[in-house]
Amino acid sequence: MEITYILLGEILGILLLFQFFSSWIVISITLFSLGTVYFFTKKKSILIYIIPILFVIRLVFGVHSGDFDYLENIRLKVELNRGVGKVLKIDNKNLKNLTFVYMSELADGKYNVLGEFKELEKKEDIDIISINRLEVEKLEDSFLEKYFENRVEGFIEKGDRYFKRVYRAIILGESREIPKELREKFNYVGVSHLFALSGLHIGIIIGVISFISSKFSISRDKRYWAILIGLTLYFLGIKHSPSLIRAYIMGVIFLFGKILYENIDIEKSLAVSFIVSLFLNPISIYEVSFKLSYLAVAAIIFIYPFIIKFYKGKSKTVKNIILIGTIQIFLTPILIKEFGTIQLFSIFSNLIIVPLGSLYITLAFIGLLFENFGLGVVIFPFVNIIFKLLIKVVEIFSNIPMLTIKYSGNKDNTIFLLFYVIIFGMIFYNKFKMEGKKDEKIYRRTKISQ
């Protein structure tokens, strides 16, 4: 079994233990398990033992327990938007639950807040914390954040309200900027993923920079280094989400593979991205965008190739329908659990809106690039026309009944978890069975040649 998949299993096992047991019990079980693995298997790869231990340390010292004493001094890092602050960290530790604090009199932005804990109110899947504020320090944006903010503001100056909000969402990652009525339409027609920074956007950025750099007489290696540097500068200048972090890590792995002339295993790239993302923020696994992002890519990588084997035709349209259908069916349990919806016929809206949306996003990034040289005004009319056409098509589909329906039945976590455990169990069982057969054939050939 590949080391990458063993590490993935260990990380998921540790997270599961942390759901039910105290830190010291998890540490004890982890050390005992690793010792047992070494004793019985004699596996010599040090990563199998070091990575789980480091991850346990990361959880113990990097995740807040959520327990507070009345009037205890706590330090919050808060991202404020229209008076509602999303608590990013407490005492420099990540939080187990999505937590908010109200600070209506302050301007939008990031703050360090020192306060006395008063109350923790739980509402469904979120926590609302109340404090007596003692100190408030506004955090300034970095140079790159200010730079991209200024370029975006310059480009969208002549756009209408919808154009400005959506453009900020797809370029700066400010998805909360999208008006509620427009977001509801995107959700109904099943294309909300277009407006959340993810693999599509990273792929477009890589493609745009690659195309431009290919017009200069520079070596292959320098071209890929230029793409990597450009992608990283952009990543550091915008808001991060689990889907963006996943896509960036996979993009970096792809580019390093090109630089080092190595063949990239996309399955292992996804696993490595998953592990690195959890090291950066172990609690992100509980965020909806994290689940949707990784499960969507897993459906493309693991499930679609298996299903498409049964289609013998060559029609790209049919293949696209199968691909979109595969992703939507695979994500249905999460959509039911988190949003109470089933995307029944939105597969057809995706066939039209996704290509149009991809064109808009590509032109939007080219517009940003032009704005760096004061030429954004040249391409703005084209971006605006495509945007208005995109919104018009979304509105047409939003009036079609039954694209997405509400579900109000059983939402038991056990059922949904069992669904994914069975699916992934079958996938990896089949994968390692096939690899075992290949190894056996290689062994037989080697034996015969001897």
Cβ atoms < 10 Å from Cβ of 47: 14
**Positions in the chain short of pLDDT 70:** 1, 42-44, 432, 434-450
Query: d(Cα 334, Cα 292) in Å, to the nearest integer?
Result: 7
In one-letter notation, the amino acid at residue 374 is: G
- Angle at which helices 346-371 and 199-213 pack, to 10 degrees? 40
- Taking Cα atoms as reference points, which of 125, 436, 121 lies closest to residue 283? 125
Cβ atoms < 10 Å from Cβ of 41: 9
Buried b (16+ CB within 10 A) or exposed e, 165-191: bbbbbbbbbbbbbbeeebbebbbbbbb
- Taking Cα atoms as reference points, which of 188, 71, 157 lies closest to residue 377? 157
Q: CA of 108: how far to CAs of 138, 140, 142, 159, 162, in Å?
A: 10, 11, 16, 22, 20
Q: Which two tokens stand for residue 224?
A: 């890929």
Count, residues in the chain:
450
19 half-sphere exposure, CB direction, 13 A CA radius: 9
Q: DSSP 3-state assignment of 85?
A: strand
pTM assigned to the model: 0.85
Query: d(Cα 4, Cα 272) in Å, to the nearest integer?
Result: 7
- Angle at which helices 220-236 and 199-213 pack, to 10 degrees? 140
Q: What angle do CA 252, 257, 260 make, to 5 degrees?
A: 120
Maximum alpha-carbon separation in the chain: 80
**Which residues fall within 8 angstroms of residue 281, CB to CB, at 6 or more apart?**
94
Confidence at residue 149, expressed as pLDDT on a 0 to 100 scale:
93
Q: What angle do CA 71, 72, 78 make, to 5 degrees?
A: 100
